[in-house]
Chains A and B, each alone.
Chain A
Amino acid sequence: MPSFQTSGRHGYSVQFSPFFPHRLACASCQYYGIAGGGTLFVLDVAQDGLRPVQVFDFSDGLFDVTWAENNENILVAAGGDGSIQVWDVLQPKGPLKILKEHSKEVNAVNWSQTRNENLVVSSSWDNLIKVWDVSQSQSIRTHVGHSHIVYDVVWSPQLPGTFASASGDRTVRVWDIRGGDSCAVLIQAHSEEILSCDWCKYDKNQLFSGSVDGLIRGWDIRSPRLPFCELRGHEYAIRRVRANPFLGTSLATTSYDFTVRTWDTSQQRMLETIQHHTEFVYGLDFNIHVPGQIADCAWDGVIQVYQPQSCVPP
């Protein structure tokens, strides 16, 4: 199982490249994100582990990263200083751009998943969501509505111009950039802060949320009053929920209980508990090239790449 030690850095987010099956990026912070800078790692899975291809330092913590879908060299990272930065793997001198509009830490960045759209959405401690065309110097939209920190934003893999957000105001919201400024769907999803959400890749109406209450819930955005599924098992807050790109009923989650767990949403049951970290587990991503392969990262400074049996499609 390939792994990598982000010495002196605490991992917050990992994402596999949409272009190369062996490449991933990790956004990390020095000193738990309390003080110091951040580092963006670009790593290749090699026979003997994960090897750094590029390592970018930044003046503030980096909390999330997303790969461009229209250029294999480009990444966008979320900064503790309220900026998003555009990085190029082949240009080690520094970010091509620093776009700073958020007034507080940026928690999440995500690049469009639908074809012919190349927008980045960012969410922040300042309660705002911004939509960017990173070839321009300013954001193209700001979405106001959440009354607390917005922890996660994810574009729909099927519905053009549509993304979901998860917030400390205990709601999950769905936004359509072609519509008005307000959200299209509002889900009173949990009784505690919601740290993550993701879309099912095979049912365009399904959305999953993970909360400080330790629960994962599945929602049909056409009837969001009650969840269609609820998954119990984590002992503490759920930090990240990600849906399997090869299997519509498969989820993986990371938690402050130091574990990663895998789930079957149709049977509403936990499949595997993976305990290879010794600290809060933050980042999680599925490889879209290797069925069932996962990368994760944690505050213990370890990035793991592995393939839980329960995530491999039959």
Chain B
Amino acid sequence: MADAQTDEKADETQKGSSAKQASQCAPEKSLNASASGDNNALDNLFLRFEAFNFIEDQQFQAGLSKITVRPDLNTGEDLLKIKAFYYTKNVEPFDLRAYMSWSGKQATSSSQDSRASKDLIRTSKSSTAPLHSASLLDSHLPKTVQSDGSSQGDLGLKKEESTVHETAESDATVLIQVEEAENSYNSRRSAVSDQNEELSFADIVELVQSGKPIPGLAQVEVVPTNEAPTPSLIPRTKKPWEE
């Protein structure tokens, strides 16, 4: 246990200090931003965005954990997209595409933010996948904000109940018959999937974020049957490594 605790403390110290660095970093950077006019304003906006303490923003973190865009994806552009949504909604208008090209330049000129350039590389690499294409990303991001001041928890993202109802499945009796299962499977799926399969990751995030109903959202209420397991007829076989 001693080990585990030390480890956790070390972890926390690290987090704390990097967050601090981020916030201290910002003023310095804005001093260096020397360009005038729009560029300057843009620089400042992007620096504010970078300095924004997402890590300690409880609303952001609560939202992030809710929307199940799992944190293991967070090293990529998905997190950036989410941050941009949140920032636009809750702080000030923000153009992610412009930011990405800006941060790409920053990265090459100062190697300051290798993360951002990694995001760019990944976006271009994945251009075959609608999910990560830069153009899609752009067209689905809100370009302006109406700041209604409403503090929406969860990044304004939540699991939205759809008005479209997936018809409950057949009152299937015993179906170990493959054909039957297959048919019921096909009829259940076709209604839902055909027109919705094309919805990309960005589409879904946008629909959820804007509070619009998501077409074909599965709405099943599942309750336990509390039945006993079907008795087993087969003994456990030896594993290959037990031979």
Contacts and interface: CB of A to CB of B under 8 A. Distances in A.
Interface in B1-21: 1, 3-4, 7-8, 11-12
A52 B217 contact: no
B85 to A, nearest CB: 12
Contacts of B140: none
Interface stretch (B25-33, B50-58, B101-109, B235-243): B235-243
A93 B171 CA distance: 8
A55 B239 contact: no
A186 B7 contact: yes
A69 B23 CA distance: 52
Nearest to A55: B185
A24 to B, nearest CB: 14
Contacts of A193: 71-72, 75
B214 A8 contact: no
A198 interface: no
Range of interface residues on chain B? 35 or more
B54 to A, nearest CB: 16
Contacts of B229: 71, 73-74, 86, 88, 96
B222 A59 contact: yes
Interface string A132-159: 0000000000000101110100000110
Given A35-B204, A35-B214, A299 B131 contact: yes
Contacts of A57: 169, 218, 220, 222
A145 B207 CA distance: 37
A180 B1 contact: yes
B182 A51 contact: yes
A96 B220 contact: no
A237 interface: yes
Given A7-B193, A201-B239, A58 B220 contact: yes
B176 to A, nearest CB: 6
Contact of A31 (B172, B199, B237): B199
Contact of A245 (B4, B217, B232, B241): B241
Given A18-B236, A201-B240, A31 B7 contact: no
A94 B224 contact: yes
B227 A88 contact: yes
B55 to A, nearest CB: 13
A181 B2 CA distance: 12
B218 A36 contact: yes
B178 A168 contact: no
Given A35-B214, A74-B229, A58 B222 contact: yes
B192 interface: yes
B122 interface: yes
Nearest to A126: B65
B146 interface: no
Given A58-B220, A245-B241, A278-B129, A7 B236 contact: no
Given A30-B218, A157-B239, A35 B160 contact: yes
Given A91-B225, A186-B4, A188-B7, A71 B232 contact: yes
A51 B178 contact: yes
Interface string A176-216: 00001111001010001101000001100000000010000
A72 B233 contact: yes
Interface string A17-29: 0110000000000
B72 A237 contact: yes
Interface string B206-225: 01100000101111111111
Contact of A151 (B12, B72, B122, B172): B72
Contact of A145 (B4, B182, B220): B4
Nearest to B169: A57
Contacts of B35: none
A93 B225 contact: yes
A62 B185 CA distance: 17
A104 B1 contact: no
Given A193-B72, A288-B240, A32 B201 contact: yes
A144 to B, nearest CB: 9
Nearest to B173: A92
A33 B70 contact: yes
A86 B65 CA distance: 25
Contact of B239 (A95, A245, A258): A245
Contacts of A86: 229
A70 B75 CA distance: 40
Q: Which 9 A-B pairs have the closest CB atoms?
A: A8-B193, A37-B218, A182-B1, A7-B193, A71-B232, A201-B241, A147-B8, A145-B4, A90-B230
6 contacts: A34-B67, A37-B217, A57-B220, A70-B232, A92-B173, A169-B7
Given A8-B192, A31-B204, A37-B217, 4 more contacts: A74-B229, A90-B230, A157-B241, A186-B3
